Structures are given as structure tokens and as C-alpha cells.
Amino acid sequence: MSDHSDPAQASKNRPRLSWRENIEAVRTRGTRFCAASCIVAIMLAGTASPGLAQVRVKDIADVEGVRENQLVGYGLVVGLNGTGDKLDSAVFTRESLVGMLERLGVNTRDQIAKLQTKNVAAVMVTGSLPAFARTGSRIDISVSAIGDATNLSGGTLLVTPLLAADGEVYGVGQGAVTTGAIAARGGSGSSVTRNVPTSGKIANGAIVEREVSFALGMHDEVALALRNPDLTTARRMEAAINAELGASVARATDPRTVELNLHNMDVVATLARIEDLRVEPDSPAVVVIDETSGTIVMGANVRISTVAIAQGNLTIRVSETPEVSQPGALSNGTTRTVPRSTISIDTEHDHKLGILNASPTLRDLVASLNALGVGPRDLISILQAIKAAGALQADLEIK
């Protein structure tokens, strides 16, 4: 007799299911398949290669000498709907307006006392000149009121020279100002304001008139500057570059600088190869606390030694319940309101001493801190106390 059953016979012997039971069976199998897929996805995410933490050299370092230059200028915004500077109090706006009209052939200095326009505002214009910006290219600029103007929306910036630190003009700005703000005022004095209406931007609002000369291809020796100085990261970058180029091209000289010797090489092509190399950056153990917003940020290398913690608050509640005192009949008394105060104190005596175990990873540390069951404000005090006890193996920065 065979040990294998006949599939056809087994199919006949299988109990027949109703259409409702068939639908439920399909739904159950689909749910199990979905759950299994989610578990596999989580396992794959947890066992991902550490190489995913590597970043490109261009994202953590800059070529020394290749940087932006700050530009600043003073100008006038016109066309405002009565929200500009008051010329009686903003003397610089009045003088700037008179000087601009004189340059355009309009003499108003003899009638300066009659200038009462409210459609002009004095502003400071700022921008950044990118590296390798060429003459005729455009850059974005920001416009900010310096007088008593209340709104720059709808205004137009007149031609404004933009100067660098050397006092030379590197760009000229002009264009319509966009603030992205809403400001409305009612006749009774009520007002609504969203964002900042006295500051705006002009996209592509300035034209570059002068270039900053820098011949990158003519330099045989170039240095890479790390944005976050770290000796370990600098050494890893040195090793990655030398492994790619097959020679002792890179040399880390300090936590911020990696020098490159590019003799007999195409500088631009070599830098293009280097900036796409991937390096795993290292970072110090730091805990940053912003007490204003209650924000806590921890680095991946933060560790805590085993420590015992007991945390509790003293809460005092004062409730006022006024009561009415009614005099007796024929007593010639008056009805009065008598204050009644109730004071209760909660010392949270049920909070006990807990053990915060040493955490080998950031995930374990977060789980241990969450197990304390405290909010961000209390957690800030706990971290400060742990640091004072010497159990927090990280720098504590408080903003």
C-alpha cells in the first residue's frame, strides 16, 4: 500500500467551504503574507550594511579658497501702498530720496519740507557671490527695512550697488520685492500679521558685475577643509583618496585639513574623482539641549554608565472657591461673598529609585531613558544630573 495519498482523492475528501468561509480564508492568508513581508523588511533594515552610513567627500569637505563672498548695499524701495518710512522721522530716507531725484535731474532740495510721501522705504540689501560666478550671471538677494516702514509687499527695489569687504562693487540689484507675508489692519485698530512683512527676497534680483579671480586648475597643491573637524574622519579621507589614486597624494595635517599633492595631474578631473569618494565620518559624543523649546539631540556615540535615578516634582495646587455668607433674619446684616482657599501638595511619593543600566548603543540608551516615563523637560534635568555625576560619557551643550 502506498504511503502517498492521491491528490484527487484528498481534494474530494476535503470539506467544502461556503463562499463566506472562502473569502475569510483568502483574507487570512493575505494578512499573514503582509505580516511576514513587514517582518522581513524590518529584518533587512536592521541588518543593512554599515556602508550605507558613508557619505561623499563633497558633502563633508570643501576645497580651500573656493567659497562665497558676502555682499551688502543700501537702497530704496518704492511703490509701497502707504506703508513706507515717515520722512519726518526717517532722515536717511528723506536725504536718500532727495539725492536720487537730483541724480535724475529733479531738484527738490528747496522743497524738502514738503516731501510727505509714504511710499518709499530705506532698505539694506544683502546677498552672496558664489564661487566662480561670472560677469552677467544672476544671484538672489534679500531686502530688509531699516526705517519705520511697516510693509514692503508690492514694492520695487531701485538700482542698488552691492559691495564686498574690499569696498568694490561686485553686483547691482533691482526688482520687485516678495515678502510672503500677510498684514491686515481694521478701522478699529485690530490687525493680523503673518510672517515678517518688513523683510523680503528678490529671486535672481542682482547681476554680477565683477568676478573674483581664482584659477583652480593652476594650483598643484590643494587642501580639503572638513566642515566638522575630526582626526578620525581626516585619516579616513586620506586613506580613501590614496587608495583611489594609487599614490601618496593625500596627507592629513590636522583635524580640519587634508592636503593634496596634484603634481603632473589634471587638477579639475582629479578633484572630480575625489569628491565622489565615500568616507564614513566620525563624530564626537555630544548631547545638545535647547531649554527654550525642550529639544534634546544625541549623537550616535553617546553612552551612559550604570546609574541610579529617582525623579519627582513638588506640585502645589491652590483653588479659590468663593462662598456666599447670608445673615440671619432681622439681623440688619448684609449678604457678602467670603473667599475660601484650598491648598494641596503633591510630592509624588510613589516615585521610587530606578536603575539606568549602561547602554552600549544609542537605541539602548533611548529605550532606557524612555523607560523612566518622564517628559522632555524632566529629561533635561536628568541628563544634567547624570553629567554632574560623571556617568554621561559625552559633552553636554546647552543652548
Q: Do 137 and 263 lie in a common domain?
A: no
Look at residues 131, 125, 90, 94 and name the one whose alpha carbon lies nearest to residue 109.
94
Residue 143 lies in a domain: yes
Q: Do 392 and 346 lie in a common domain?
A: yes
Q: Do 315 and 391 lie in a common domain?
A: yes
DSSP state of 77: E
> Please, what are the averages of pLDDT over each run of 10 residues along the chain (399 residues)?
45 47 45 35 35 80 91 96 90 91 88 85 96 94 94 94 95 94 70 84 95 84 93 94 89 94 90 93 88 83 80 59 72 73 59 62 72 76 85 86
Q: What is the pTM of this model?
A: 0.64
HSE (CB half, 13 Å, CA atoms) of 109? 8
Q: Do 80 and 193 lie in a common domain?
A: yes
Q: Do 127 and 98 lie in a common domain?
A: yes
Q: Do 204 and 221 lie in a common domain?
A: no
**Residue that finishes a domain, picked among 190, 208, 226:** 208
Domain count along the chain:
3
Q: Do 196 and 239 lie in a common domain?
A: no
Residue 298: the pLDDT is: 86
Q: Do 231 and 308 lie in a common domain?
A: no
Residue 269 lies in a domain: yes
**Residue that finishes a domain, picked among 162, 190, 208:** 208
Q: Do 263 and 350 lie in a common domain?
A: no
Residue 311: the pLDDT is: 66
Residue 5 lies in a domain: no
Are 204 and 176 in contact by the 8 Å Cβ rule? The answer is no
User: SS3 of 302, please?
Assistant: coil
Residue 187: the pLDDT is: 65
Q: Do 95 and 192 lie in a common domain?
A: yes
Residue 83 lies in a domain: yes
Q: Do 351 and 393 lie in a common domain?
A: yes
Write the CATH number for 222: 3.30.70
Amino acid letter, residue 166:
D
Residue 27: the pLDDT is: 45
Residue 243: the pLDDT is: 93
Quickly list H helices, the chain.
7-13, 19-46, 91-103, 231-245, 267-275, 362-371, 376-388
Q: Do 198 and 73 lie in a common domain?
A: yes
Residue 10: the pLDDT is: 45
User: SS3 of 144, please?
Assistant: strand
User: SS3 of 88, please?
Assistant: coil
**Residue that finishes a domain, picked among 179, 208, 237:** 208
Residue 18 lies in a domain: no
Enclosing domain of residue 272: 216-279
Residue 349 lies in a domain: yes
